[in-house]
Amino acid sequence: MKLWRKSASPEPAAAVNAAAGARYTSPKERLKGDVQETARQRLVIASVIFGLAFTAVGLRMGYVSLLRDGAEPTQRVAARGGSIQSERADIVDRNGAVLATSVPVMSAFVNPHLLLDPQEAARKIVTALPDLKYDDVREKLEGDRTFVWIKRGLSPREHDRVNRLGIPGLDFQAEERRIYPQGTAAAHILGYASVDNTGLAGVERYFDQQLQSGETLQLSIDLRLQRIVEREILRVVQKFSAIGATGIVMDATNGEVLAMASLPTYNPNSTRTLTNEALFNRATLGVYEQGSTFKIFNTAMALDSGKASMTSVFDATSPIRIDRFTINDDHAQRRPLSVPEIFKYSSNIGSAKMAVEVMGPEGQRAFFDKIGFLKPVSTQLPEVAGPLWPRHWMKINTMTIAFGHGISVTPLHLAMGSSAMINGGILYQPSLVKRTAASDKGRRVIQQKTSVSMRQLLRLNAVEGTGKNANVPGYEVGGKTGTAEKPGRGGYRQKALISSFVGAFPMNDPKFVVIVSLDEPKGLPETGGYATAGWVAAPSVKLIIEQMVSLYGILPGDLKDGLPPIEIASTPVPPPVAPPQLVPASVRRSPGDHRRALPVRPAPGQTAVVPGQTAAAPGPAVRRVASE
């Protein structure tokens, strides 16, 4: 009898394989089936992931549209009384007077989806904010957006009126607003910032990153002197019916700009005043032919070459005829003239012959390139213009450029170049921020002895020449007039003048350069109908200098030879401190808290002492003038 072992059931894996083997008749078909199965599984997983993502997006959109309170700008803290994450730093003058600062403000916005009656809401809003137009507000409120601004930068009174409306969906955003406490003062230097506190012009734009980081910006300008210059050029513009004007005061020893003004001007607090004409900074964007002020540079160029001296003589007997042009003198002497006489009588003929005979086209071009007159001024403003000069510098160009025609530069070029001609021959780039001894050492462009000669010539011109109306007795003022006709179609416009005066003092040791330039002034009976620089610009420079010496306490005896140089005092910006903590009024003053008197204004030659600090002694051989 044979016994047979009953076969066991196959293992599960084997069963699966057996089933698969039953479905597929070949290994190739089996492999194809495995691939399809894997693909189906991946599709299922991907569908689940996409479904979850779309569900999350839908939930978020529903929340933002229906449930969120509408505070759209999430980069700032939005709520009533909310704080602001960062603050744009202040801009101050050389003595710490605030020129630009940021203040907290509230801005009104609406979520139209939460309004019950958009038209009624618009009516209430324009009642509280009458400067808004009903149709504009209604159009915003009837839109399909979830966030619309109503008005940004509300005043406290406007905020209170809007808040009292009690309109559902109307709320407020805590923001910063840039304000300029001095109004129009130094507007073209400061520029302005946008509603989002981003610099758009002036130093606000140039130093935008520094200001955004919270670092205070201290300028070189003196607000008191800035106001003096602005008042004077406004007065003279009104008196002579000019279409514009520029005034600049520069420290000749380091290139610091102490004041710079341009008319027309604007108020950076008011967007309504930001017209193209008002925004135009004539000091840095106005490119003009500067007339006979260029004889300063022509004469310095000839003397510095060594080919001419103060005793050199050039024939100014007859007009110069070249091509179809004739060069004449306004104060014709009709005889050979020495270099000082050419300068004193402002002889175009003598200047032209000096340029051609001593330097020639290439030498003249190289000199103006060396003093920076063939490129834009490098300073801390984005609004600077490049000069205009002949690409083919020929003999006739050399002649006309000698007396300031055929080349156009900005008034700031003129201030920079004039400073180098009298300060010992060192060219400094103009600076709108305070400088240290190491910040810009300058570069030599003429010899020391040439600079001494130029001081003598400028002083001579203010005493005996065309600049007599700028002389201030006792203060060694020097200067040069410049009157240029503006170019027009087919030639120059004889009645459209740029009348400028470059003044400097004290000429025994120059410290200040003062420039006033008028655009199209009109003559008056008291000026004999003339609108030239000696009549309209030189007297303004004189008035500015008279107020400067009063402001800084400079006496005639302070300018004697052998005394230490004058230095304009300034107040360093203190390091930032934490904001004060609010305390109840009842505990603000302790029994021992007594009022303290403010420190008196320092006398000339002294510096202010802050209570609790020791006054720093001036450096050796330096006299300081008072600051407030």
Please say whether the beta carbons of 513 and 415 come within 8 A. yes
Q: Token pair of 483, please?
A: 């009157």
Task: Report which of residues 64 and 178 the model is more confident about.
Answer: 178
The pLDDT, as a whole number, for residue 567 is: 79
CATH of 91-219, one of 3.90.1310.10, 3.10.20.740, 3.20.140.10, 1.20.120.420: 3.90.1310.10
Cis peptide before 104 (omega within 30 of 0): no
Q: 419-443 pLDDT, tens per residue?
A: 999 999 999 999 999 987 778 889 9
Q: What average pLDDT does this structure show over 268-281? A: 94
Q: Pairing state of beta strands 491-505 and 512-519?
A: antiparallel
Q: 322-332 pLDDT, tens per residue?
A: 888 899 998 89
User: Where are the domains positioned within the chain?
Assistant: 91-219, 226-568
Ramachandran angles phi, psi of 315, nearest 5°: -75, 115
Which stretches of 268-357 are assigned E, i.e. beta strand? 313-315, 320-322, 325-327, 336-338
- pLDDT of 621 > 50? The answer is no
Q: What average pLDDT does this structure show over 489-495? A: 80
The pLDDT, as a whole number, for residue 36 is: 72
Q: What average pLDDT does this structure show over 486-492? A: 82
Please give the Cα distance from 229 to 253 (Å, whole number): 20
Q: 525-551 pLDDT, tens per residue?
A: 999 999 999 999 999 999 999 999 999
Of 24-28, 100-104, 584-588, which has the strongest mean pLDDT?
A: 100-104
- pLDDT of 626 > 80? The answer is no
Q: What average pLDDT does this structure show over 193-209? A: 95
Please say whether the beta carbons of 225 and 249 come within 8 A. yes
The pLDDT, as a whole number, for residue 63 is: 55
Please give the Cα distance from 435 to 443 (Å, whole number): 16
Least confident among 73-87, 190-204, 440-454: 73-87
- pLDDT of 618 > 50? The answer is no
For the entire predicted model, the pTM comes to 0.78
- pLDDT of 622 > 60? The answer is no
The pLDDT, as a whole number, for residue 435 is: 87
Q: What average pLDDT does this structure show over 102-127? A: 93
Q: Percent of the chain having pLDDT more than 90?
A: 67
The pLDDT, as a whole number, for residue 220 is: 97
The pLDDT, as a whole number, for residue 95 is: 95
> What is the helix (H) or strand (E) element at residue 15, kind and residue range?
helix 12-23
Set 262, 292, 346, 453: catalytic member: 292
> What is the helix (H) or strand (E) element at residue 17, kind and residue range?
helix 12-23
Please say whether the beta carbons of 570 and 435 come within 8 A. no
The pLDDT, as a whole number, for residue 628 is: 43
What is the number of other CB atoms lying within 10 angstroms of the CB of residue 208?
18
- pLDDT of 480 > 70? The answer is yes
The pLDDT, as a whole number, for residue 30 is: 66
Question: Helix or strand or coil: residue 57?
Answer: helix
Q: What share of the chain is helix, strand, coil (3-state, %, to 5)?
A: 35, 20, 45
Q: Pairing state of beta strands 170-179 and 148-154?
A: unpaired
Instruction: Give Cα separations from 510 to 39, 152, 282, 513, 543 (angstroms).
Output: 89, 50, 25, 8, 18
What is the number of other CB atoms lying within 10 angstroms of the CB of residue 8?
6
Q: What average pLDDT does this structure show over 460-473? A: 95
Please say whether the beta carbons of 192 and 200 come within 8 A. yes
Task: Report which of residues 12 and 115 the model is more confident about.
Answer: 115
Q: Percent of the chain having pLDDT more than 70?
A: 80
Q: What average pLDDT does this structure show over 596-603? A: 40
- pLDDT of 68 > 90? The answer is no
The pLDDT, as a whole number, for residue 568 is: 81
The pLDDT, as a whole number, for residue 87 is: 84
The pLDDT, as a whole number, for residue 35 is: 65
Q: What average pLDDT does this structure show over 593-604? A: 40
- pLDDT of 91 > 50? The answer is yes
292 catalytic? Reply is yes
Q: 164-191 pLDDT, tens per residue?
A: 999 999 999 998 899 999 999 999 999 9
DSSP 196-244: TS-B-SHHHHHTHHHHHTT--EEBS--HHHHHHHHHHHHHHHHHHT-SE
Q: Give the pLDDT band (50/70/90) at residue 224.
A: very high
The pLDDT, as a whole number, for residue 534 is: 96
Q: 543-583 pLDDT, tens per residue?
A: 999 999 999 999 887 767 667 777 787 888 777 665 555 44
- State the burial class of residue 67 (Cβ atoms within 10 Å of its Cβ: 0-12, 13-18, 19+): exposed
End-to-end CA distance of the chain: 132
> Which alpha helices (DSSP H) does 63-133 contain, by range?
118-128
Q: Token pair of 374, please?
A: 């063939």
Please give the Cα distance from 440 to 259 (Å, whole number): 19
What is the chain's mean pLDDT, rounded? 85
Please give the Cα distance from 502 to 481 (Å, whole number): 7
For domain 226-568, the question of CATH label 3.40.710.10 is answered with yes
Helices (H) and strands (E) in the chain, counts: 19, 18
Please give the Cα distance from 211 to 89 (Å, whole number): 5
Please give the Cα distance from 286 to 372 (Å, whole number): 16
What is the number of other CB atoms lying within 10 angstroms of the CB of residue 107?
21
